[in-house]
Each structure stands twice: as structure tokens, then as C-alpha cells.
Structure 1
Amino acid sequence: MATTTAKQYTRLLSLWPKDALRPNLPFTRAIEHRAAPYGVQPLTPVPHVDAKPTPSTPPHPKPKPSAQPNPQLEQAQLNALYSLLEDRYTKKYALSPRVLRPTSAPDHYTNLMDEIERAPQKTWWGAKMDEWRMKIRWS
């Protein structure tokens, strides 16, 4: 049963979409941490910092060793992750067009999605210019 759990986690990690907004902090790291007791290896190596912690920054606590992994209990976690991956809730609880296009700002969510898609390609200067443009009201 544990090998099945490891295979399911490995498949889930291979299917999980890449995070373009935060490539340095992907959700797959949390999944890899959860799957580690079942022998699943991380897809990408976690960067190792050799610097010693300074007194002002506390050291990262070591994870507490948990009890023996329980594949039966882990199945519920896997099912939840697969439901997110497959967008089951978006399909089951579809939003009406009125929610996504409110009368007060009909293009708000469209503009937001456009901005999210452009964000990974922006330079620091481009992001600052956009930030300043948002603060100045053009009449």
C-alpha cells in the first residue's frame, strides 16, 4: 500500500502545474514534504543555504518525526490534492457570469488575469512603472 501511495504522489507531482508567479516557492515543495515518508524524492533539489543563522534570525526548526506513515489515512489527502488538480470544485460550483463581471467594474477580473499573466515577464523597472501608474489618477 505504501508503494501505491508513493506512486500516486509521484504522479501528482509530475502533473501539478508550475507556479509562474512564485517559482522560488512552489506548492510542490509542500507535497514533496508530505510524500517524503513514503520514499518520494523531490522533483527539484531544495536549495541548501550554508550560512549560519545570525542571532537576530532564529534557526529553522527541524520537523518533528511523525509516527509511522499510514497509507489509509494518506488516501484522503491524495484525493483532496487530485480534486484540486482536476478543478472538481470549479466544475461543481460554477460561478455565474454576473459574479465575474460585476456592474461596478465589469473588466476587473479580466484585467487582473491579464496582469497575472504578464507579471512573470516584467522587469523590476516595469513593475515599478506600473505601480506608479496605478497611484496617479489620469482624468
Structure 2
Amino acid sequence: MSLNQKITKAVALWPKDELRPWLSFPKTLDTSIRARLQKMPPQQANKQLNALNNLLDNVYWNKYIPKQVVLKPQFKPSYYESLTQIRRKEEKAPLWKRLFKRK
């Protein structure tokens, strides 16, 4: 498999950000990683791609498990879940409500 195919495969598997769907991290990642890996020697580029695939496979998450203090802040333990719920609720709202919502 060529370097470009490996990059395309890894970027396609990258999850979308539920809280900021208007930002396309995979697209940004694709652009920046292609430019950088093209300039590297093949052996170093493969190491970088392996690191990217390890991120996708949660290798580092499982190796360095984050503490609950990070995942559930003391000031509001359900902070991240409530953000996700609010975002989903906004997506389901009719278009006119989303357009004229007061901020």
C-alpha cells in the first residue's frame, strides 16, 4: 500500500467531532500530514503513520489511562455529556429555530 493510500485510510477512519461539526479535523489532518510525510524519509514517515494509527486504535488511551478527574471535572461531573446532549438537541431543532436563536 502506498503512502498516500495509508494516509487516506487513516484520515477516513478519524472520528468526527460531535461538539464542533463545522470543524473538519480530518480534512486539516489530511492536508498537513500529507505535506509533512512527503518530505520525510520512508522509514520515518511509516513511524509517523503508525503513531497516527495508534491514536485511532486508542493504544495511547489504554496505555496511559486518564484519571476520572480529567474525564469528570469536579465542578460539574456531567459536563461533557451535557455538552453532547445540548448539541444533539440543537441539531434536531427546526431550521427556523436554529437561525433565529438568541445568543
> Which TM bucket (shorter chain)?
0.5 to 0.7
Counterpart Cα distance in 2 of 1:31 and 1:104: 33
TM-score by length of 2: 0.61
Q: Which amino acid aligns with 2:77?
A: P
Contact 2:11 2:29 in 1 (8 A): yes
**TM-score calculated relative to the size of structure 1:** 0.49
User: Unmatched 5+ residue regions in structure 1?
Assistant: 39-65, 132-139
1:89 aligns with 2:87: no
Match of 1:114 among 77, 81, 85: 85
Residue 83 of structure 1 deviates from its aligned partner by: 2.0
Q: Does 1:7 align with 2:11?
A: no
Q: Distance in 1 between matches of 2:87 and 2:51?
A: 26
Separation in structure 1 between the aligned mates of residue 52 and residue 30 of structure 2, nearest angstrom: 12
- Report deviation, 1:12: 0.9
Question: Cα 1:119–1:92, aligned 2, differ >3 Å: closer, same or farther?
Answer: farther
Please report the RMSD computed on the Cα atoms of aligned residues, expressed in angstroms.
3.3
Q: Give, as a single letter, the amino acid of the residue that structure 2 aligns with 1:35.
A: R
Where structure 2 has 5 or more consecutive residues not aligned to the other structure, the ranges are: none
| 1:1-139 to 2 correspondences below 5 Å | 3-20=1-18, 21-23=20-22, 25-33=23-31, 34-35=33-34, 69-121=40-92, 123-126=98-101, 128=102, 131=103
The offset of 1:78, in angstroms, is 1.0
Kindly tell me: are residues 35 and 111 of structure 1, through their superposed partners in 2, closer, same or farther at Cα, counting changes over 3 Å?
same
Give, in whole Å, the separation in 2 of the partners of 1:95 and 1:82.
19
Larger C-alpha radius of gyration, 1 or 2?
1
More helix by proportion, 1 or 2?
A: 2
Q: How far, CA to CA, are the matches of 2:7 and 2:74 in structure 1?
A: 43
CA distance 1:88–1:121, change in 2 (3 Å): farther
